[in-house]
């Protein structure tokens, strides 16, 4: 595929570093087992001391620690520099001045920039716009709004799109009178609630006022019994369940329960969560600039032994670096993870260790996306305009890839993890070569709005696909990163006829389809064979967040967070008898779970629930069969066709940093 980069990896391994060589074989063995189903230890993982004599052809091109740590440790994108150098020096940014030549203050600049509400047409100064922003808005969205000089009301995406005909209301049929009456009722209702709240609050102590301010800042419900601040064991409390009014069942998730609460670690919102391919490690990151790795209790010994065996005791890399990355070290001491948890504080029913396995520091702004390779490398992208490379066996950052603007999305190549894809707000899509420490290929988005807000691979790496702020899904041939085709994600009429920001892109193996999440509170499934819309999923609220939808481990369900504090789930197995005869490409039959008091910023299914919840006797399947979902054989799996077990494990995170773990045992 990349002829210039096909170098035997074994030649890259330094003979003076036998630990790297051993780790390389061990990591390759773990990846091979995921495909070939080799006999495993009781924990399901190969011993760190094991070796393998031969490798499958598919895994000949894979990233290893020697190539990841060789060469420069700070890599800068060179394509833009070449362009600017050819045109001469570009002047730096200059502060605006008044007519008299005086430099304007920050307040004067903000007051001079007018922001337009696309829903009402109202224009207000930027300095006042933040007061009217929707609750739960993230800094990335705020930055984009400032850059594009627009803001969108929170109810913008709640209107019906092309599902219902929009008949104009006239004075003769009482349309305007009805509309005014509805507005008056809403106004009176809000006024009564506000007056009642003030009356109750007037006689309370000052501490209650402080609490109310805190709850307002974090967008929480003060009286909600499902608060993450509640004392007691969370797994004894069932999660609240609701479903669409037209959905009469049978339900799949009405018995779901919270089994673990991982709150208290993240300071601020959790923007992204990703499971490793093996399903035993969970990476979470967000507003506090720290990557946290959580490990299943059953796999703790394996990964702890790996870290102890291959840790370089503070040495950052075998070769000198351009920048000291000491600040990027994990704040977990080498032996800190060895100590067992307090038995009195430990909940045996909780699948994860209550404290993170490790914390990776180094980013200086919000983290926006994460991506795992098959052999435990982790990429993290941030609003600090960098992508950092980590490995679970090391305590420090292995490499830092600098960009021109915020890096909103990253993805390892599914067949050759020496390469990864990055999408940035500078409008450029880059394919990075990790061993060579450079941009192998890049392309630029055209159009007036060139902000890339999502990126991924589809069809097992054949195409790279990006999502833009103006609602376009653009496909590029991965071989040369040349433009292939595009889809404009929007409705045919209504308020959503203008494309809105795309927040997530997930491929559906086996059916040549992709799942696209956007800021019009819609999730769409597109068929890549003819670029047609297969299904539209509705019910959740996503008008200004970076919330993205994803599939369950067997592709039977779709899950997404929501700005109304619920987790929403749809079935991909469509019972068309429930749908109307007119529109069978609209799925409104959702199930909702309430366990948070704030905007649910991320929700994902565990890739291998059997590792967390033991399957019942007679329903067990070999470990190798479960692992085969990670291999290329998954490209033949159709959605809804696999019913591998009757258990789902679901995780959700919110705007306050709370993380909840759910277990759902399905009915037979």
pLDDT digits (tens, 9 = 90+) for 138-162: 788 878 877 776 554 444 444 445 5
pLDDT on residue 392: 94
Under the banding of pLDDT at 50, 70 and 90, the label for residue 226 is very low
Statement: residue 651 has pLDDT above 70: yes
Cα–Cα distance measured from residue 297 to residue 351, given in angstroms and rounded to the nearest whole number = 6
- On whether the CB atoms of residues 652 and 568 are closer than 8 A, the answer is no
Under the banding of pLDDT at 50, 70 and 90, the label for residue 583 is low
Read off the pTM: 0.72
In the beta sheet, which residues pair with residue 537? 523, 587
pLDDT on residue 282: 97
pLDDT digits (tens, 9 = 90+) for 420-476: 999 999 999 999 999 999 999 999 998 878 899 999 999 999 999 999 999 999 999
pLDDT on residue 443: 96
- On whether the CB atoms of residues 571 and 658 are closer than 8 A, the answer is no
pLDDT on residue 406: 95
Min mean pLDDT across 7-16, 131-140, 270-279, 483-492 is at 7-16
C-alpha distances in Å from residue 87, one per residue of 80, 82, 315 = 11, 9, 42
pLDDT on residue 189: 54
- On whether the CB atoms of residues 574 and 535 are closer than 8 A, the answer is yes
Q: What is the mean pLDDT of residues 355-363?
A: 95
pLDDT on residue 179: 59
Mean pLDDT for the chain?
Answer: 73
Cα–Cα distance measured from residue 336 to residue 343, given in angstroms and rounded to the nearest whole number = 17
Under the banding of pLDDT at 50, 70 and 90, the label for residue 52 is very low
- On whether the CB atoms of residues 583 and 575 are closer than 8 A, the answer is no
More confidently predicted of 540 and 127: 540
- On whether the CB atoms of residues 532 and 175 are closer than 8 A, the answer is no
Cβ-based neighbours of 255, under 8 Å, separated by 6 or more: 238, 664, 665, 667
Per-residue HEC secondary structure of 83-122 comes to HHHHCCCCCCCCCCECCCCCECCHHHHHHHCEEEECCCCC
Cα–Cα distance measured from residue 479 to residue 488, given in angstroms and rounded to the nearest whole number = 24
- On whether the CB atoms of residues 398 and 331 are closer than 8 A, the answer is no
Cβ-based neighbours of 540, under 8 Å, separated by 6 or more: 521, 523, 547, 560, 561, 562, 564, 566, 568, 590
């Amino acid at each position: 595929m990349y002829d210039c980069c096909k170098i035997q990896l074994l030649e890259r391994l330094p003979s003076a570093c036998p630990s790297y060589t051993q780790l390389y074989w061990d990591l390759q063995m773990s990846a091979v087992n995921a495909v070939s189903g080799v006999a495993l230890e009781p924990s399901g993982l190969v011993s760190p001391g094991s070796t393998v004599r031969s490798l499958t052809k598919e895994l000949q091109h894979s990233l290893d620690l020697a190539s990841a740590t060789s060469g420069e440790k700070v890599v800068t994108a060179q394509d833009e520099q070449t362009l600017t150098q050819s045109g001469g020096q570009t002047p730096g940014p200059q502060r605006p001045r008044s007519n008299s030549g005086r430099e304007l203050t920050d307040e004067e600049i903000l007051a001079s920039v007018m922001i337009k509400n696309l829903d009402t047409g109202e224009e207000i100064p930027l300095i006042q716009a933040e007061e009217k922003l929707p609750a739960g808005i993230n800094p990335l969205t705020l930055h984009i709004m400032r850059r594009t000089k627009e803001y969108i009301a929170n109810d913008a995406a709640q209107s019906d799109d092309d599902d219902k005909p929009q008949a104009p209301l006239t004075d003769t049929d009482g349309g305007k009178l009805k509309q005014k009456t509805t507005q008056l009722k809403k106004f009176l209702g809000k006024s009564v609630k506000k007056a009642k709240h003030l009356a109750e609050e007037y006689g309370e102590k000052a501490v209650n006022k402080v609490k109310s301010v805190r709850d307002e800042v974090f967008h929480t419900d003060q009286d909600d019994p499902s608060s993450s601040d509640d004392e007691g064991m969370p797994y004894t409390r069932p999660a609240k369940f609701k479903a669409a009014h037209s959905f009469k069942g049978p339900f799949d998730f009405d018995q779901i329960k919270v089994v673990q609460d991982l709150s208290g670690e993240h300071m601020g919102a959790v923007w992204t969560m990703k499971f490793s391919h093996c399903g035993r490690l969970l990476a979470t990151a967000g507003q506090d600039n720290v990557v946290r790795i959580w490990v299943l209790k059953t796999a703790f010994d394996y990964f702890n032994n790996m870290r102890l065996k291959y840790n370089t005791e503070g040495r950052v890399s075998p070769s000198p670096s351009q920048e000291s990355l000491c600040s990027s070290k994990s704040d977990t001491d080498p032996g800190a993870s060895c100590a067992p948890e307090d038995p009195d504080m430990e909940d045996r029913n909780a699948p994860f260790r209550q404290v993170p396995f490790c914390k990776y520091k180094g980013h200086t702004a919000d983290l926006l996306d994460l991506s795992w390779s098959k052999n435990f490398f982790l990429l993290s992208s941030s609003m600090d305009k960098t992508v950092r490379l980590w490995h679970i066996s090391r305590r420090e950052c292995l490499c830092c890839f600098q960009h021109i603007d915020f890096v909103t999305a990253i993805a390892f190549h599914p067949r050759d993890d020496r390469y990864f894809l990055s999408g940035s707000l500078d409008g450029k899509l880059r394919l990075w070569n990790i061993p060579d420490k450079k941009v192998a290929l890049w392309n630029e988005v055209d159009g007036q709005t060139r902000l890339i807000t999502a990126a991924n691979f589809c069809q097992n790496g054949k195409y790279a696909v990006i999502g833009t702020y103006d609602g376009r899904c653009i496909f590029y041939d991965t071989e040369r990163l040349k433009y292939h085709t595009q889809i404009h994600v929007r409705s045919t009429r209504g308020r959503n006829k203008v494309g809105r920001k795309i927040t997530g892109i997930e491929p559906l193996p086996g059916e040549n389809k992709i799942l696209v999440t956007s800021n019009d509170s819609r999730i769409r499934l597109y068929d890549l064979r003819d670029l047609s819309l297969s299904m539209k999923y509705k019910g959740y609220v996503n008008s200004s967040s970076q919330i993205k939808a994803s599939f369950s481990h067997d592709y039977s369900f779709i899950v997404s967070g929501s700005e109304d504090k619920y987790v929403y789930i749809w079935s991909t197995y469509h019972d068309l008898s429930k749908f109307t005869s007119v529109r069978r490409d609209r799925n409104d039959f959702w199930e909702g779970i309430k366990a948070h008091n704030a905007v649910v910023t991320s929700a994902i299914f565990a890739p291998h629930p059997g590792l967390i919840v033991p399957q019942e006797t007679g329903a067990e399947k070999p470990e190798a069969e479960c692992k085969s979902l990670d291999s290329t054989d998954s490209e033949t799996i159709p959605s809804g066709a696999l019913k591998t077990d009757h258990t789902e494990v679901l995780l959700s995170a919110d705007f306050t940093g709370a993380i909840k773990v759910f277990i759902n045992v399905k009915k037979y």
